[in-house]
Chain A
Amino acid sequence: MTTKFIGKRVKRNEDPRLLTGQAQFVDDVEIPGMLHAAFLRSDYAHARLLSIDVSEARKRAGVVAVFTAEDMGDDWQPGPPLVSPPPTVKDVIFHSRRQVPLVKDKVRHAGEAIAVVIAESRYIAEDAVEDILVEFEPLEAVIDLEKGLEAGSPLVHDDLESNLAAHLFQKKGDYEAAREKADLVIARRIVVDRGAAAAMENRGIVTDWDKKSQHLTVWDTTQAPIPIRNGLVARLGLSEHKVRVIAPFIGGGFGPKMMMFYPEEMLIPWVSMKLNRPIKWIEDRRENFYATTQERGQIHDVEIALSKDGHILGLKDIFLHDTGAYDPYGLTTPLNTQCHVMGPYDIKNFTSEVSVVFTNKTLVTPVRGAGRPQGIYIIERLLDIAARELGIDLIAIRKRNLIPPDAFPYEHEIIDQAFAPLVLDSGNYWPVMEKALEMVGYDQFIEYEQPRLRAEGKYVGIGVIPFLESTGVGPYEGARVTVEASGKINVATGIGTQGQGHFTSFAQIVAEQLGVAVCDVRIVTGDTAEFHWGTGTFASRGAVVAGNAIHASASIVRQKVLKLASKILKTPEEELELEDGLVRVIDIPHKSISLGELALLANPLRGAVQPGTEPGLEATAYFGPQYGATAFGTHAMILEIDPETMMLEIKRYITVEDCGTVLNPLILEGQIHGGVSMGIGNAYYEKLHFDENGQLLNASFADYLIPSATELPRIEVGHVETQSPLNELGAKGVGEAGTLPVPALFAQAIENALNNRDLEILETPLSPNRLYELLRPNEEKSR
């Protein structure tokens, strides 16, 4: 397909506003008469709430109201489940325990909201929070996943028999039989710990209730404005068209802004209606560390069975997954881990058993990667150990096990996070890996450079990690494309946008169909008044699912344009082209009519039209993929470690991505750079340290280190394109790809650099300190 706009490095439509401070974010919304909210949050991770006294707070000048759970009466209800448990899996256990708007009886994680103060200013509201007196009975906290499942452990939810939130077993083939035949079985315990998404913009919500018109407007830092609208409608008993949710410009999402409903999202609209006043609540960074969802904590006891030539015969993974204090997001994250722990490899025998554990920690929901990095870390660590034990080259063992190109669509015989059979739609893996090896100069490095540098006393290492990513999952998205009388195109879709460049890549899709300039396509995302069907921006699905819905709508509009123009220009449709905002006769370019004129003609003020005629040049269409498209990639890295400080310097960083059709390479590269930088944080800098009481010890940017420009390398990006057969654009998602293989890559490259047979890295995140501890011989290595 030759394209004019798709696949081009088009500059972004949204930039001028963002660059000049003219783009509206939630905290920029000001409404006359607006009040401000601040929350009292628990310092304890686990405590019974004995009493609350808000009388002093209520007396403070400028305070309008204070609400506790009790003040909410019957309106106090836990949040709705966001994702239900998988109905298609046999014997699944799932205990749904959802977050509450304000704590009523018992605090279940530090930072859980207990009361809200509404005041004339945020300053007053925060001061008044200090006036509230609370009496707690502190309880022992559940922090450790294994101890949490032991008999006699304190319970996060007293009505359950244990802290087991869910249990799920999946299998394919017969692992035990495969194990019998194996030449080598490797068993290890691998531990992955928690990190934060740390979007630069904290969460926030502004609500405006107009009692006379019974209309509620909500500005929300959400990745999913339509589900928020639907949930509010149900909670508040309003009609759908009376609630408008707007996700304006959002300062980064990365998953936690997909969580619904946060307690504040349930509460602030309710307060607004109670007080009949506009209300603003903006989270601060400390609250973000305690009250915005996090991810990645898992403990895996895993076993891999291999033949002596390095073929994987089977894999068995028994793991614990930390869901925090509640589990509104169902099993999405651990299911993603199960679906990625086989990596891009042809594994015929597989057993996986996950126990999800309630802990007295912040809720867990997907963070960029969403369970996938854990799966990839596990399989790649095992292959590194296997290669070492079998004396096989690290690349050779991987090449030997890759799913071959003729095996697609590849059925994995387990279910994925959408509860559908896991099918890998398409792929051609080895050329991608090969390209990464070439770009990094693998053979050259191993044969010449590394020996030379080692001789100079330098600790240099190389790593290469392939990975796959399920992307672009259903259920569906929709879009409405309209040609306006000005000749400009208006497009509305339901998903929200948080920096992914949708205002540009979606405009390119439309420009391709309608022959207009990309800057003449105006995209509206995330406003339920403009489009109110859809789900949200998650699972690397925006470009794939909403992109294809827009493509479908634009194609229908193109048909309508051609049909009308054909009548007016008295020329058969096949002889017309759409170019420069005009429809013209291919061989007679001056015989033309503009899209704007056609739009006017399609919406006549007088006269008769034929039956069945729809006015305007407009179409609404939907796209729902049969199943998700699977992307593939390989990262390669050369690093040098300072053996004294364990600080490392990344000398080269290569990524090769196959995400099908590329809509805009500039935006794609940006997504990858950002993903890698988050992955590097996950791998070597970022870890949330909870103490045994459930206190987060590093709840600030001074203590929780996200990479700055000086820690990050230049990233070289290569592309290979295997189009997805599942959608017309041939696209696969890429939003999370950059993050997935990085921890595995670090572990491999660090082991390679240090070249120390006693070092086996079985955990992530690492840090200079932790690496130093791991290297101290004969000393306590436990965490």
Chain B
Amino acid sequence: MSNLFDLAVTVNRVRYERAVEPHILLSDFLRHDIGLTGTHVGCEHGVCGACTVLFDGQPVRSCLLFAVQTHGHEVTTVEGLGTIDNLHPIQEAFHEAHGLQCGFCTPGILTTLVPFLEQNPNPSEAEIRAAISGNLCRCTGYQHIVDAVKLAAEKMRA
């Protein structure tokens, strides 16, 4: 089974070169091979959205991609958004509006929102709900998430 593939991928602006087995999921590669455990795995069948990362800027489910498919591309995970001392405005808004409880779904929601808010700087509540409808959250009932997205949009417009 050792048909290793020489993968070169840029994750959070850092270039990684790794020999990987072709059947390794992107989610497992990110979490276990390069230690970016901020990306979470809730279903591994493409429904919950917890594993969402940005692939050349677009949200994708890392549990539905093989790591080798990112060869030569750019991936952004939650760790690439902001840091504890310098939160991204969306992260800041989630903190202020209590947009997370257990925080397990949060990384996937944040990454989904980055391109969404770039394309829709002033979204309506219905648009926000549609945008996150592919991200399941069992804790919040989504209301504070929606509030956080509105607040984030305000911050980013300012």
Q: Is the interface of A mostly helix, strand, loop or mixed?
A: loop
**Bound Cα distance from A22 to B35, whole angstroms:** 11
**A18 engages B79 (CB within 8 Å):** no
Q: A18-B100, A673-B144, A712-B141 are in contact. Are A700 and B47 (CB under 8 A)?
A: yes
**Bound Cα distance from A622 to B113, whole angstroms:** 44
Interface size grouping (class) on chain B: 35 or more
**A673 engages B32 (CB within 8 Å):** no
**Does residue A327 face the partner (Cβ distance < 8 Å to B)?**
no
Q: Which of B3-11, B65-73, B114-122, B132-140 contacts A (4 or more CB under 8 A)?
A: B132-140
**A714 engages B143 (CB within 8 Å):** yes
| B50 interface neighbour in A22, A200, A700, Cβ under 8 Å | A200
Taking CB atoms and an 8 Å cut-off, the chain B residues in 87-124 that contact chain A are: 87, 91, 94-96, 98, 100-107, 110
Taking CB atoms and an 8 Å cut-off, the chain A residues in 164-217 that contact chain B are: 198-202
| B144 interface neighbour in A122, A669, A676, A702, Cβ under 8 Å | A669
**A700 engages B43 (CB within 8 Å):** yes
**Does residue B64 face the partner (Cβ distance < 8 Å to A)?**
no
Interchain nearest-CB distance for A245 vs B (Å) = 19
| B95 interface neighbour in A15, A670, A700, A715, Cβ under 8 Å | A15
Residues of the B chain whose Cβ atoms lie less than 8 Å from the Cβ of A278 = none
Taking CB atoms and an 8 Å cut-off, the chain A residues in 232-282 that contact chain B are: 249-252, 254
**B107 engages A200 (CB within 8 Å):** no
Q: Which of chain A's residues has its CB closest to B137's CB?
A: A200
| A200 interface neighbour in B37, B48, B98, Cβ under 8 Å | B48
Residues of the B chain whose Cβ atoms lie less than 8 Å from the Cβ of A202 = 42
Contact string against B for A residues 5-33, beta-carbon threshold 8 Å, 1 for contact and 0 otherwise: 00000011011111111111101101000
Interchain nearest-CB distance for A571 vs B (Å) = 39
CB within 8 Å: A-B pair count: 183
**B129 engages A254 (CB within 8 Å):** no
**Does residue A526 face the partner (Cβ distance < 8 Å to B)?**
no
**Bound Cα distance from A21 to B38, whole angstroms:** 4
Q: Which of chain B's residues has its CB closest to A706's CB?
A: B136
Taking CB atoms and an 8 Å cut-off, the chain B residues in 44-65 that contact chain A are: 44-45, 47-48, 50
Q: A27-B41, A201-B42, A706-B138 are in contact. Are A674 and B104 (CB under 8 A)?
A: no
**Bound Cα distance from A3 to B100, whole angstroms:** 26
Interchain nearest-CB distance for B97 vs A (Å) = 9
Query: Which 3 A-B pairs have CB atoms at the shortest separation, nearest pair first?
Result: A21-B38, A499-B102, A251-B104
> Given contacts A61-B1, A673-B144, could you give 19 more A-B pairs where the C-beta distance is less than 8 Å?
A15-B94, A15-B100, A30-B32, A123-B23, A200-B137, A200-B138, A251-B40, A252-B102, A499-B100, A499-B103, A667-B98, A673-B141, A673-B143, A677-B141, A708-B135, A709-B132, A709-B142, A709-B145, A714-B143
Interface residues of A (CB under 8 A from B): 11-12, 14-25, 27-28, 30, 61, 122-123, 198-202, 249-252, 254, 284-285, 498-501, 666-667, 669-671, 673-678, 700-702, 706, 708-710, 712, 714-715, 738
